[in-house]
Amino acid sequence: MPTTFKPIYTITPSIAKSLMKIESAKEKVTLLPVNPTVLASLRETAKLYTTHYSTMIEGNQLKLEEIKAVIQLQGHFPGREQDEHEVKGYYVALAQLEQYAAQRHPVTEKVIQTLHALVMGDGRTSMKPTPYRDGQNVIKDSGTGTIVYMPPEAKDVPGLMRHLVAWIKENEAIPCPIVAGIAHYQFATIHPYYDGNGRTSRLLTTLILHLGGYDLKGLYSLEEYYANHLLGYYRAISIGPSHNYYAGRAESDITPWVEYFTEGMAVACEKVVAQMMASHEKGKKDHSQVLRTLDPKQRKALALFKEYDVVTAKLIGDLFGFQPRTNAALCKQWVENGFLEIVDASNKGRKYKLATPYDILVMDGF
């Protein structure tokens, strides 16, 4: 039967050093002023990287640019539909995570089950929370087929998950990065689902960090560190004298995992600082000459592209309160004079993006 979760670990000099780096980066990110439009662009890039690397760890073959095309509904890759579904699901789950963080919604089992449902969906934004597995599963080496890890029995999963969520809530005095790292480890140890455990554990980690004030404006990607140090990831998380959960895994000293996790977070946080400093030093360029070529309606339409890379005629029409026929005529005119470009020519789903050089206005915060 499950017992109360009591992780065993030691704050080593390595962990202490990483925590200091994280705190320093967190403070710098808070103080560094960055243009809001540039910040939005950096945040979107971080989400793309997070989606790319988290799904890549699980074997997804889509490249970063292909993932961007899938998310923006600008590309389809025949034969890789499953990869596309994984990408869409993870991206939607990230958006839900951000909503939970904005609402200061605490971590609950329902939150975790909802994130898992979205991860396993195909991009749908509304999914019923996924119940835990009802049978045994095992993790096997893809090459040899040997058992790498045998998680706890299904009957013990609800109790273990209940204890994990309670531990997260009851340990606010512990540094948040350590809580997040341990929660990641324990979720992977319980393995409450047949599939999607890795992606859900990484989302849970990110949610805990965001709720604890370590969102760093949504700009970091821990998943990139994991993917670039994948052997270390698996070595650090595979702790214990046996591959069987009941043969020592639950009582193992997880200090090596906490060291790996905090070091990775420190690297990711310091990368954010470097990005923000570069953006700040670059400054805001003078685009007044380009702006003067735009009429008042076009200037107003630029605001849409702060939120969307691609828009429809309806979105543009809604901005001005026009009728559908007027929307289509205006978009046609803007395509002809070089303000917009068509990215989807289908009659029902026609979409547009800003043409060069006007897209730089949005990137640099006109």
- pTM beyond 0.85: the answer is no
**Which ranges in the chain are annotated with CATH 1.10.3290.10?**
16-281
How much is the pLDDT for 242?
75
Q: Fold for domain 16-281?
A: Fic-like fold (1.10.3290)
CA distances from 85 to 62, 82, 123, 130, 347 (A): 11, 5, 7, 17, 25
**Which ranges in the chain are annotated with CATH 1.10.10.10?**
288-363
pLDDT tens across the length of the chain (366 residues) = 555 788 999 999 999 999 999 999 999 988 877 766 667 777 888 888 899 899 998 888 889 888 888 887 777 788 888 899 999 999 999 999 999 999 999 999 999 999 999 999 877 777 899 999 999 998 887 778 888 889 999 999 999 999 999 999 999 899 999 999 999 999 999 999 999 999 999 999 999 999 999 998 888 888 988 888 888 888 888 877 778 888 877 788 999 999 999 999 999 999 988 888 877 666 555 566 677 788 888 888 888 887 788 888 888 888 888 888 898 899 999 999 899 998 877 777 788 888 877 877 776 655
How much is the pLDDT for 134?
96
How much is the pLDDT for 133?
97
The CATH code of the domain at 288-363 is: 1.10.10.10
